Amino acid sequence: MFPIQVNGLINSRPALFSFNGVSLANGTECISYVQIYPFNYTAQNYHSQPLTITNPVEVAKIYYNTSTVYYIYGFNEQIQIPSSSTLLCPSVVKATK
């Protein structure tokens, strides 16, 4: 299911956010880091070298400030995450409290 990619903005400029997961002992996955691909207006595409964010507090900020409706590659439908739930890893959630 990962990565989950979301279109968003950074300082009013388009960017692609790629939320990446890690496997947990129970066989599920959760978001532990995010890669940001800023839009290059000159080349009219997204940069191929992303900025990788691993700081749990920053990962949580980005997660909560982007849309909670995700388009998953290979699927044509939206996935809505309930406001009481999260895809973030427990370590990320713990770092924000």
Entry pTM: 0.76
Task: List phi, psi (to 5°) of 88.
Answer: -70, 150
Q: What is the pLDDT of residues 7-20, one digit of tens each?
A: 888 888 888 899 99
Predicted pLDDT at 54: 94
Predicted pLDDT at 13: 84
DSSP class of 28: -
Q: Which amino acid is located at 30 in the chain?
A: C
Tokens read off for 40: 């290059």
Q: What is the pLDDT of residues 31-71, one digit of tens each?
A: 999 999 998 887 788 888 899 999 999 998 888 887 555 55
User: If 0-12 CB within 10 Å is exposed, 13-18 middle and 19+ buried, where does residue 42 land?
Assistant: exposed
